[in-house]
Amino acid sequence: MAQTIAQAEKKPDNLPPIVVTASQRKPIRRVNSTTQRSQSRTHAAGPARLRATAPISEAVSGAGNGPQTPLNTNAVAVNASRLGLTVREIPATVEMIDQRTIREQGYRTVSEVAQGAVGVTSGDNPAEPSAFSMRGFTNSQINTLYNGIKIGPQNMTSRLMDTANLESVEFVKGPASMLSGEGAAGGAVNLVTKQPTTGPIRNEAFFSYDSLHSFRSSYGSGGSTNVRGLDYRFDVSRSSLNGFTDDTNTKTLNISGQLNYRVSDSFKIWGAIEYKQDKSTAYWGTPLVPTAFSGPHATTGIVSGTYVSNYNGTNLGPVTIDNRTFNTNYNVLDNHVKADELWLRGGFEWNITRDLTLKSQMYGYGAKREWFNNEVEAFNADVNLVDRERFFVAHDQKLFGNITDLTWNSNVAGMDNRLVTTFAASNLDFVRPGAANFPHDLVSLVDPARGTYGLLTTQRQTAKIDNESLAWKIA
């Protein structure tokens, strides 16, 4: 007790003196010292703290834009603004998922990346791979861009794509037609390929295998070459993804490369090439059947109610899913959904003065897509068999275009300002061979004879579209 009282009476140790100093303004970050004008003035740099336009490799990937955060708010999202603003400075709901997050979360495809984004859903049904939904809008109401370029309506042109060759996926949630093109009432998704980096060469590779006998493999390399000012990036990936339903498989191949050559401190040229291929054997659904027909094989908790077939008009009464058909694929044996795509892109970036930058990107894109399937499986209660009907459609698309940006940095009334003028033009040549006949047959519900597509006759549709636009953005 005496010891306790002594400790209570003991005076506390003296605290060290507190020194208060004037706060120091954080200097404005400079992305490229050769293009940033002097910022020695002491006034604030405006609400956005504008930076000089970043080089192409940095502006696209977000490299060099401050420390990385879980939400990547310090990265520059080119699809959301051509003003070179970071995600947190853009007056819109923007989310950027970079390659590090993709690896950490194990996202294999672009659709899986979308499922990991806030407020975004996605799926890979065989008719419309990589179909997105945001804010109540779906399909062609959301634009899909490749390195900032729109190639057409999402529900016609999007493909299942592995993430290995991507640097990031950008999501703009809400109306986005100003930058991504017409029709983006729900938002836009921009897929950005990996870019060259300056510095030592780094090589990376991975391989994965799962219980469904799916595999993914990838190799990438990038850095500076022995040629002064020349940087490169090369990536190749191959995957084969299997599903739990019989004969469902998707194979992808993606090869991409880019060279950046800095001719001088103020002028850079670059060129990129990318080849993508995907081919799938598809599953188009399991038919609803009368509960009375399935008997002991009827399931509960999946579907309920009564149904009249909207294909053959027969009344199925109370319906169920027969548990013998959970893994059954009713598609024909020679079915396929496939696409081959080739990108050629090139351009330059010229810092005309410290405050004036001209960037231009020219591109050519070609794609051949094909759907060759049995796409209807409907139980016919009159004969207790499954109605099947074939469908075929193909695309032969060629797209050429140019996007040119002129950026002017200025100072008005003590505040930094940036004006970006963008001119874009493109030419589209689209040929669509489609089915003129739709072969039909009947098969048993359990262990169906899958057969082949049969006779196909086609009809041809064509379209040619020219687009030009001129836009200004100020910050």
Domain end: 163, 193, 223, which one?
193
pLDDT at 467: 92
Q: State pTM to two decimals.
A: 0.81
In a domain? residue 146: yes
pLDDT at 27: 42
Domain end: 135, 170, 193, which one?
193
What are 116-152's pLDDT values in tens digits? Answer: 999 998 888 888 888 888 888 887 888 889 999 999 8
Spatial separation of the C-alpha atoms in residues 406 and 417, rounded to whole Å = 14
Domain match, 299 and 418 both: yes
Confidence of residue 257 (pLDDT cuts 50, 70, 90): very high
Domain match, 349 and 256 both: yes
What are 313-365's pLDDT values in tens digits? Answer: 999 999 999 999 999 999 999 999 999 999 999 999 999 999 999 999 999 99
Domain that holds residue 105: 56-193
Q: Which of 16-30, 48-62, 113-127, 233-247 has the highest mean pLDDT?
A: 233-247
CB contact at 8 A, 188 and 145: yes
> What CATH number has the domain bearing residue 101?
2.170.130.10
Spatial separation of the C-alpha atoms in residues 311 and 212, rounded to whole Å = 34
CA 192 from chain centre, in angstroms, equals 7
In a domain? residue 260: yes
In a domain? residue 295: yes
pLDDT at 174: 79
For residue 24, pLDDT beyond 70: no
Longest dimension (CA), the chain: 105
Q: What angle do CA 108, 274, 229 make, to 5 degrees?
A: 110
Domain match, 123 and 237 both: no
Burial of 170 (0-12, 13-18, 19+ CB in 10 A): buried
What are 207-245's pLDDT values in tens digits? Answer: 999 998 999 999 999 999 999 999 999 999 999 999 889
Domain match, 184 and 206 both: no
Least confident of 22-31, 228-237, 259-268, 280-289: 22-31
Domain match, 292 and 338 both: yes
Does 318 or 40 have the greater pLDDT score? 318
Strands 187-193 and 142-146, how do they pair?
A: parallel
In a domain? residue 50: no
Overall domain count for the chain: 2
CA distances from 407 to 83, 355, 473, 474 (A): 8, 8, 10, 10
What are 370-391's pLDDT values in tens digits? Answer: 999 999 999 999 999 999 999 9
Domain match, 432 and 350 both: yes
CB contact at 8 A, 288 and 321: yes
The DSSP line for 386-399 is EEEEEEEEEEEEEE
Domain match, 324 and 457 both: yes
> What CATH number has the domain bearing residue 435?
2.40.170.20
Does 147 or 54 have the greater pLDDT score? 147
Confidence of residue 298 (pLDDT cuts 50, 70, 90): very high
Domain match, 248 and 186 both: no
Domain match, 136 and 213 both: no
In a domain? residue 213: yes
Mean pLDDT of 271-276: 98
pLDDT at 26: 41
What are 181-204's pLDDT values in tens digits? Answer: 777 787 889 999 999 999 999 999
Domain end: 193, 216, 249, which one?
193
The enclosing H or E element of 114 equals helix 110-116
Domain match, 121 and 229 both: no
> In 3-state terms, what secondary structure has residue 108?
coil
In a domain? residue 8: no
Mean pLDDT of 32-44: 36
Burial of 447 (0-12, 13-18, 19+ CB in 10 A): exposed
pLDDT at 28: 37
Query: pLDDT averaged over the chain?
Result: 85
pLDDT at 25: 44
Tell me the one-letter amino acid at 168. Answer: S
In a domain? residue 246: yes
Confidence of residue 264 (pLDDT cuts 50, 70, 90): very high
Domain match, 421 and 400 both: yes
In a domain? residue 406: yes
Domain match, 285 and 381 both: yes
pLDDT at 454: 94
3-state secondary structure 267-298: EEEEEEEEEEEEEEECCCCCCCEEHHHHHHHE
pLDDT at 62: 43
